[in-house]
Structure 1
Amino acid sequence: MNSLSRRPLRRVLLSTVATAGGVVLLLSLKPHTTAEAAGATTRSAAPAPAPSASATSPAAGSGGSSGASGGTAGTRTVQGDTVQTRYGPVQLKVTLKAGRITAVSALQVPEDSPRDQEITTFAVPQLTQEAIAAQSAKIDTVSGATYTSEGYIQSLQSALDKAGG
């Protein structure tokens, strides 16, 4: 009878240990970082200049020609290639000063439907912030805006390639 009375206690002890172990495992998992948190971490590690990044409406007559235009002492503006995505073209203009990305402007973005406009309004500022923080085209895509993100990254990379960076 003594062994029967220990079994419930043994079960309680085992379930308590198992629960505590599960809680410890859950707490040991690293939380997923958002783009904003990752950008803030990157910026604090290597401070970037205060950029004036903006996303603009498509420019009339920007049909994929590209090139660099001179600016003030060491400032260059380079247009990336026009990248055709499933929802429309994406083309960027990148401003570099002393080899660093200081601004990225969208010359063309998908805007044919209200949903395209919503996605563009949401995704392009995030992508711009990440590009300036990363100082490269090695940035994450924005969830829900995969095609626009991929077009953005390709156009950004082409501009950086043309600028020699």
Structure 2
Amino acid sequence: MGTAATATGAAATPSAAPSAAPTAAAAPAAPSGTFDGSVVHTRFGPVQVSVTIANGTITEVTALQLTNDGGRSVMISNQAAPILRSEVLAAQSAQVQNVSGATYTTGGYLTSLQAALDAAQF
């Protein structure tokens, strides 16, 4: 006598937890605005810069203060500032080379710039 196997056709039941489709994490908004760096005190005076960022791109760097201890210091800073500005705009960061003969100005400029970029979360 044959035995008939009975299948207990258990139907698949929907999961209790909703199935979430993988979603991409929302990208943070690109920083925009003008941010002042900290005042950096150097051997030849204070240095401070401001950076303007538009849609995640550095569009301007302005020296708010440059070393001012004596005429030679002012001259060096006035020569170094446009070079540093140009280099920062090209590099889009504070990671640029020292300006020869303007070590203190360069150090203060880039330190202040990095503080401004940190404030912008750039």
2:26 aligns with none
The answer to whether residue 51 in structure 2 is matched with residue 98 in structure 1 is: no
Which protein, 1 or 2, shows the higher relative CO under an 8 Å CA cutoff with sep ≥ 6? Answer: 2
Q: 1:8-51 CA distances to partner (integer Å, 9 max, x unpaired)?
A: xxxxxxxxxxxxxxxxxxxxxxxxxxxxxxxxxxxxxxxxxxxx
Amino acid aligned to 1:109 = L
The equivalent residue for 1:136 is 93
> Please, which runs of 5 or more residues in structure 1 have no aligned partner?
1-73
- Counterpart of 2:108 (choices 143, 151, 159) is 151
Find the aligned partners of 2:94 and 2:50 in 1 and give their Cα distance: 13
**TM-score, length-scaled by structure 1:** 0.54
Percent identity (aligned): 50
Residue identity opposite 1:131 in structure 2: V
Output one character per residue of 1:110-139: Cα deviation in whole Å (capped at 9) or x when no partner.
Answer: 123110111011101000000000000000
2:37 to 76, 80, 97: 80
Q: Measure, in 2, the Cα distance between the counterparts of 1:152 and 1:95.
A: 15
Larger radius of gyration: 2
Distance in 1, matches of 2:64 and 2:88, equals 16
| Alignment TM-score, normalising by the size of structure 2 | 0.73
Match of 1:55 in 2: none
Number of aligned residue pairs: 92
- Counterpart CA distance in 2 for 1:81 and 1:153 is 10
Q: 1:112 aligned to 54, 59, 69, which one?
A: 69
Q: Which amino acid is the alignment partner of residue 156 of structure 1?
A: L
1:141-162 per-residue CA deviation (whole Å, 9 max, x = no partner) reads 1010001100001000000000
**Per-residue CA distance 1:53-97 (angstroms, 9 max, x = gap):** xxxxxxxxxxxxxxxxxxxxx740000011111101000010000
Flag as ranges the 4+ runs of structure 1 deviating above 3 A: none
Contact 2:46/2:68, CA 8 A, preserved across alignment:
no
1:89 alignment counterpart = 46
Greater fraction helix: 1
